[in-house]
Homo-oligomer: A and B are copies of this chain.
Amino acid sequence: MKAGIINVTGYSGMELARILHGHPEVEITSVTGRSAAGKRLGEAVPHLGSIDLTITEELTGSVDLVFSALPHAVSAERLGPVLDQGVRAVDISADFRLRDPKEYREWYKVDHPSPQRLGDAAYGLPELYAAEVAGAQIVANPGCYPTAAILALVPAISAGLVETDLIVDAKSGVSGAGRGKYPYSEVNESVSAYSIGGHRHHPEIVQTLSSYSRNGDVRLSFTPHLVPMTRGILATCYAPLLDGSTTQGRVMEAYRSFYEDAPFVDVVGEPPMTKHTLGSNTCIIHPVIDRRSGRLIVVGCLDNLVKGAAGQAVQNMNVMFGLRESQGLEGLALYP
């Protein structure tokens, strides 16, 4: 299989290159980047020096699959001609995640560049939508926060254990913001909340969770936080239990059976740490009943650049092309 990466010089793009380089069934044949066009990949991105490619402005040669790691709006635009040629694509940007172009406009403040294609896109969370992903031309790779929040909450909602009056309090490493946004000295040794009540991943979480909610209704507070580390997301999710007598055992059973066949979700009995996911495609989930408040608390964590971006994109690729879901993604986390 030949794969191309659009915008290899961003964090998601370079992480895609790292992962695909170790994938036994894939060859990266083309990588693009604007300001670095013309450079050897290893000049622009030194840790990829052993991948023998030159960065170009546009994709070159024919490929079986394109990964786009461009920012939103630009991504859908650049993918247009590629999709016209029938090539399949995994889009890491937000462009094909929301089904409703009006909602896209509301949150992203631009008109969707190709609303007519929204129907061709599958939401690429393979734990929930493997069949759609397998058949889609476009796979919209979920956001990093939504991946953690949705995987943490869906089993409880789906099993009817909780009310969908939800709080997702999420903590992210700095790489989630992309290259160059936060100067070291101003975020190091500091935690802060941002986009309180108004982050763009809000509608994405609601869209998926409401399809699992019995009455289709989800009320959500989503508060992202910036934490002084490079990678990692930990989402702490709160939902009122519908039945106060629900046991911890019943909850664990619901979660374990929901993810029985999911190679990348670990349901655990102790609070996880993001460090246990570093560099791996694993999402660790820890549901606990908080008896005093009558709530279910679920902690989900993952590496925002792997299961939250590039790793999930490769997992989607595996599903799209009928490969084993975990192929090329079996590396363990780097610890400590």
Number of copies: 4
Contact with B along A170-213 (1 / 0, CB 8 A): 01011100011111111111111110110000100000000000
With known contacts A197-B292, A292-B220, A192–B234 Cβ distance under 8 A? yes
- Interface residue A60 (Cβ < 8 Å from any Cβ of B): no
Q: Which of A48, A175, A275, A295 has the most CB of B within 10 A?
A: A275
The answer to whether A22 and B332 have CB atoms under 8 Å apart is: yes
Give Cα A49–Cα B282 distance, bound, in whole angstroms.
Answer: 11
With known contacts A167-B167, A334-B334, A46–B220 Cβ distance under 8 A? no
- Interface residue A35 (Cβ < 8 Å from any Cβ of B): no
Partner of A193, one of B193, B232, B234: B234
Give Cα A280–Cα B266 distance, bound, in whole angstroms.
Answer: 26
Interface residues of A in 3-20 (CB under 8 A from B): 11, 14, 18
With known contacts A182-B183, A194-B271, A189–B231 Cβ distance under 8 A? yes
- Interface residue A274 (Cβ < 8 Å from any Cβ of B): yes
Partner of A196, one of B173, B229, B297: B297
Give Cα A211–Cα B215 distance, bound, in whole angstroms.
Answer: 38
The answer to whether A183 and B185 have CB atoms under 8 Å apart is: no
Interface size on A, residues (CB 8 A): 82
- Interface residue A71 (Cβ < 8 Å from any Cβ of B): no
Chain B's closest residue to A229 (CB) is B189
Chain B's closest residue to A19 (CB) is B332
Chain B residues with Cβ below 8 Å from A29 are none
Rounded to whole Å, the gap between the CB of A287 and the closest CB of chain B is 10
With known contacts A297-B196, A334-B18, A189–B275 Cβ distance under 8 A? yes
Give Cα A50–Cα B167 distance, bound, in whole angstroms.
Answer: 31
- Interface residue A336 (Cβ < 8 Å from any Cβ of B): yes
The answer to whether B230 and A273 have CB atoms under 8 Å apart is: no
- Interface residue A290 (Cβ < 8 Å from any Cβ of B): yes
The answer to whether B190 and A290 have CB atoms under 8 Å apart is: no
Chain B residues with Cβ below 8 Å from A294 are 219
Rounded to whole Å, the gap between the CB of A304 and the closest CB of chain B is 11
Give Cα A271–Cα B238 distance, bound, in whole angstroms.
Answer: 22
Q: A190-B275, A227-B228 are in contact. List 4 more A-B contacts (CB 8 A).
A: A45-B335, A167-B169, A174-B184, A196-B288
22 chain-A/chain-B pairs, Cβ below 8 angstroms: A18-B335, A22-B332, A45-B335, A46-B268, A47-B275, A47-B280, A47-B335, A51-B332, A167-B167, A171-B225, A181-B183, A183-B184, A187-B275, A189-B229, A189-B230, A189-B275, A192-B274, A197-B291, A220-B292, A230-B336, A278-B334, A331-B331
